[in-house]
Amino acid sequence: MTRIDPAAIGRRGFVLASLAAGACAAAGVRPSGSVGGSGNFADRLTGAISPVHDPCIIRQGDTYHLFCTGHVGEGAGVLPWRVSTDLIHWSAHGSVFDGLPGWAQDEVPGTRGIWAPDISYSDGRYHLYYSLSTFGKNRSAIALVTTPTLDTADPAFGWRDEGVVLRSTPQDDYNAIDANHVVDAEGRVWLAFGSFWGGLQIVPLDPATGKPPAGAKPRTIARRPMPDAIEAPFIIRRGDFYYLFASFDFCCRGANSTYYTVVGRAAKADGPYVDREGRSMLKGGGMVILRADRSAGDRFVGPGHCAVLQDSDRDYIVYHAYDTQRDGVPTLRIHPLDWSTDGWPTVV
């Protein structure tokens, strides 16, 4: 498999893990389609489904391509790649990178992985955004590689390094990780991102470069009160609305993770987003869509960092959760989504 030279070219915000674990402040009832139940779509998944953290997904032709976080020294590579033809059976497909880019340590000292990829297709190329960071700090960077095809047998295949897209420093009130590429109904391109600090952000992109134009400033679209445990935005357009999915509370603690997933919607990609009860996501609002609790007997806990696949026949929510029966290993989970008559998603 062709890979980009790591000397020419990280993972998501495992941020603020030292904060107290008792920040589970979400309102809402347990969603239908329990993520810890048996006999559902997610329980049929097999093959290379763990460890998978921070998955993103896209379909080219008859093949689904899934990318996730990876770290130096892991056998799957620093940005693992998996494929499936049916969303059920998953096979390892190598990795995008053999190692960290040569410039990574200068950009983000101490970085040891490639975090939170995001895959999308626009202007004839697949755009793979990824993050470089270190745990609990916001000296971070989002970078980009592109390719005209994901078919590694195609002579046209090859990742092209597009460089750093966005940076954050300790002087910024945001964290430049967890990117999500969005194209709105008018053809305008955006990048949603963020983890903890000032919350989730959005910034316009130049479609030609996939980067913010000169002078563009990020704007907050969702936040929570201290300890500000919000991250991993993912925006889709459906009908007249844009839906913002986000992860609340704490990942990365294995079976003790308290992560869960919420959603709000807006008439425009850059907000303002509100939940089903009309609560602003700028004030901690969000309708719970994925939640699991070990004390309730759920096997897979801490469901979060989702992507939404808008496939030809229906929508699917793709995420990781921690398997309490396997020492809390992060595991790929997928559920179909149903939509209510008033336009809100439900996990099936």
Per-chain mean pLDDT for the chain: 89
Which position among 54, 228, 298, 323 bears the catalytic label? 54
Instruction: Based on the residue annotation, tell me whether 118 is a catalytic residue of this protein.
Output: no
Residue 192 annotated in ligand binding: no
CA 101-318-150 angle, to 5 degrees, is: 50
Query: How confident is the model over 204-221, as pLDDT tens digits?
Result: 999 999 999 999 999 999
Residue with tokens 């990048």: 191
CA 267-272-278 angle, to 5 degrees, is: 90
> Residues with Cβ < 8 Å from 151, sequence gap 6 or more?
60, 61, 63, 157
Residue 195 annotated in ligand binding: yes
Query: How confident is the model over 137-168, as pLDDT tens digits?
Result: 999 999 999 999 999 999 999 999 999 999 99
CB 301 within 8 A of CB 276: no
Q: How far apart (Å, rounded) are the C-alpha atoms in residues 144 and 132?
A: 11
Residue 196 annotated in ligand binding: yes
| CATH architecture of residue range(s) 41-347 | 5 Propeller (2.115)
Instruction: Based on the residue annotation, tell me whether 162 is a catalytic residue of this protein.
Output: no
Full-model pTM: 0.89
Mean pLDDT of 317-331: 97
Q: How far apart (Å, rounded) are the C-alpha atoms in residues 348 and 339?
A: 10
CB 179 within 8 A of CB 163: no
Task: Say how many residues make up the chain.
Answer: 348
The predicted pLDDT at position 1 comes to 35
Residue 54 annotated in ligand binding: yes
The predicted pLDDT at position 186 comes to 96
Largest CA-CA distance found in the chain, in angstroms, rounded: 52
For residue 154, give the nearest of 298, 282, 1 by alpha carbon: 1
The predicted pLDDT at position 218 comes to 97
Domain residue extents for the chain: 41-347
- Burial of 268: CB neighbours in 10 Å, binned 0-12, 13-18, 19+: middle
Predicted confidence (pLDDT) at residue 24 exceeds the cutoff of 60: no
Q: What is the CA radius of gyration of the chain?
A: 18
Q: How far apart (Å, rounded) are the C-alpha atoms in residues 130 and 144?
A: 6
User: Listing from the earlier edge strand, what are the strands of the sheet with 329-339?
Assistant: 300-310, 315-323, 329-339, 345-347
The predicted pLDDT at position 39 comes to 59
- Identity of the residue numbered 280: S
Q: How far apart (Å, rounded) are the C-alpha atoms in residues 106 and 286?
A: 37
Residue 175 annotated in ligand binding: yes
Residue 197 annotated in ligand binding: yes
Which position among 118, 231, 298, 323 bears the catalytic label? 231
**Helix/strand/coil percentages in the chain, nearest 5:** 5, 45, 50
